[in-house]
């Protein structure tokens, strides 16, 4: 993998997509390398690049291609609707490492990582444990068998659930969805850690939900209105500021399925603890983008893992630049993820040196549908099974500290000079 950025950096990423090992058929998906193979390949890369360390790891989903090539550098994709002949969408799960330069105090030997999947248990009545119960049981397990290392981050991954057969296979890297039928998903917890002496930590999360500003009207066909994402981060920041006994590992935005419309209880809250949901193939499925702050703390809660200082959560979002609108019937063309990350890196290098990177994520945004229309700040959105969807992936970087300068808005196509991007297979930004 060729280096695409030689200057000093505060944050970068490198991707490890699965390789196609066998062609699929009409009734089954192609055979791709499993997720544990990707982590093994990532560790080989880390051994060759001892000057960096992993800040967080991310499982990213990209649209599959018929030729078996997984392109994680593509910033947008088109999802078929059920009127198309094949009525199937294939998806690939790849590994993205968010890396930072090593500090003087970091061990000189190359970092090595591993992970563990935590799957919600199912009782005899077919009901899955809630997210909170799954975390609680995992912590009980950790007290008996601590993770052999230091936890890097924890992510909530929606994984396709097969009612008949294996149920859910967390390490599966390829799956096919039929957009004509209902799809079931199970939220699996994936914990990444740095291999080493056990840190004897347990995990926890704090969820923050947008407030409903207007419930909308079915008679007037007006959509409900919720707070923008910036307000949700503000709530999380206030919570983080007062935490003394935890180490925040990462922050993740999640599109949480609403069960009944706006689904607020009498206090205006949303139950974010469900671990199983179904997306309709024919009808509308509504989502609310919540913010999940993941943290760890020592088994002995009275012990402070680090000297406490106020923690101010902030963020910056970077949208890929539109190179061509596609005209009336064409498909828009956007810059690659590599070029979007270059702009993010340049912005980070200009910001105040005391700003600390907390983590980063790759966020899919609906461009022309579902109440979102390309606005990554929109928190209430929906999906209709019969509707074509065009997705844009934006990069969001979470930071600790006050932002003095926000990223500039992407240049519109009318102002953008006609340039030709060199499309390559490189998936490393350093």
What predicted TM-score, i.e. pTM, was given to this entire model? 0.89
Residue-wise pLDDT tens digits, 166-182: 678 999 999 887 666 67
Rounded Cα gap, residues 202 and 255, in angstroms: 25
Residue 35 phi/psi, 5° resolution?
-65, -35
The model's confidence at residue 71, banded by pLDDT at 50, 70 and 90, is very high
Rounded Cα gap, residues 298 and 22, in angstroms: 45
Work out whether the CA dihedral 92, 93, 94, 97 comes out positive or negative: positive
What is the total residue count of the chain?
A: 430
Residues whose CB is less than 8 angstroms from the CB of residue 200 and which lie 6 or more positions away in sequence, other chains included: 146, 298, 299
Per-residue model confidence (pLDDT) at position 82: 46
- Asked if residue 10 has pLDDT above 50, the reply is yes
Look at 34-38, 149-153, 184-188, 372-376 and tell me which has the smallest mean pLDDT. Answer: 372-376
Per-residue model confidence (pLDDT) at position 2: 39
**191 compared with 286, residue with greater pLDDT:** 191
- Name the token pair of 289: 């983008």
Other residues' Cβ atoms within 10 Å of the Cβ of residue 350: 10
Q: What is the DSSP string of 35-61?
A: HHHHHHHHHHHHHH-TTEEEEEEEEEE
Rounded Cα gap, residues 329 and 360, in angstroms: 34
* Three-state secondary structure call for residue 337: helix
Radius of gyration of the chain (CA): 21
Residue-wise pLDDT tens digits, 345-396: 999 998 878 889 999 999 999 887 767 777 899 999 887 766 677 889 999 9
The mean predicted confidence, pLDDT, of the chain is 84
């Amino acid at each position: 993998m060729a280096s695409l950025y030689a200057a000093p950096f505060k944050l970068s990423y490198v991707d490890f997509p699965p390789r196609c090992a066998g062609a699929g058929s009409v009734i089954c998906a192609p055979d791709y390398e499993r997720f544990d193979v990707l982590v093994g390949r990532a560790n080989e890369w880390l051994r060759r690049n001892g000057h960096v360390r992993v800040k967080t790891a991310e499982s990213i989903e990209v649209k599959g291609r018929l030729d078996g090539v997984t392109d994680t550098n593509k910033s947008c994709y088109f999802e078929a609707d059920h009127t198309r002949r094949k009525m199937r969408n294939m998806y690939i799960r790849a590994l993205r490492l968010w890396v930072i330069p090593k500090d003087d105090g970091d061990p000189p030997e190359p970092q090595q990582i591993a992970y563990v999947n935590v799957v919600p248990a199912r009782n005899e009545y077919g009901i899955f444990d809630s997210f909170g119960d799954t975390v609680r049981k995992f912590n009980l397990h950790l007290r008996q068998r601590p993770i052999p290392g230091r936890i890097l981050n924890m992510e909530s991954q929606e994984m396709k659930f097969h009612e008949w057969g294996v149920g859910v296979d967390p390490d599966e890297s390829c799956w096919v969805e039929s957009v004509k039928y209902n799809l079931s998903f199970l939220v699996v917890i994936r914990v990444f850690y740095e291999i080493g002496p056990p840190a004897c930590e347990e995990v926890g999360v704090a969820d923050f939900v947008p407030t409903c500003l207007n419930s909308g009207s079915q008679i007037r066909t007006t959509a409900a209105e919720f707070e923008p994402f910036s307000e949700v981060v503000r709530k999380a920041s206030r919570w983080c500021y007062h935490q003394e006994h935890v180490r925040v590992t990462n922050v993740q935005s999640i599109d949480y399925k609403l069960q009944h419309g706006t689904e607020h209880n009498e206090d205006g809250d949303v139950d974010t603890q469900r671990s199983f949901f179904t997306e309709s193939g024919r009808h509308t499925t509504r989502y609310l983008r919540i913010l999940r702050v993941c943290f760890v703390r020592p088994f002995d809660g009275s012990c402070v893992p680090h000297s406490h200082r106020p923690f101010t959560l902030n963020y910056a979002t970077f949208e890929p630049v539109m190179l061509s609108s596609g005209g009336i019937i064409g498909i828009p063309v956007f810059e690659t993820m590599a070029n979007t990350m270059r702009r993010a890196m340049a912005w980070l290098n200009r910001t105040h040196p005391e700003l600390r990177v907390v983590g980063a994520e790759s966020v899919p945004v609906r461009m022309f549908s579902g109440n979102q229309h390309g606005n990554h700040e929109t928190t209430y959105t929906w999906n209709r099974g019969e509707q074509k969807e065009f997705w844009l992936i934006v990069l969001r970087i979470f930071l600790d500290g006050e932002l003095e300068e926000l990223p500039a808005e992407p240049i519109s196509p009318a102002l953008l000079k006609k340039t030709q991007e060199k499309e390559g297979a490189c998936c490393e930004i350093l």
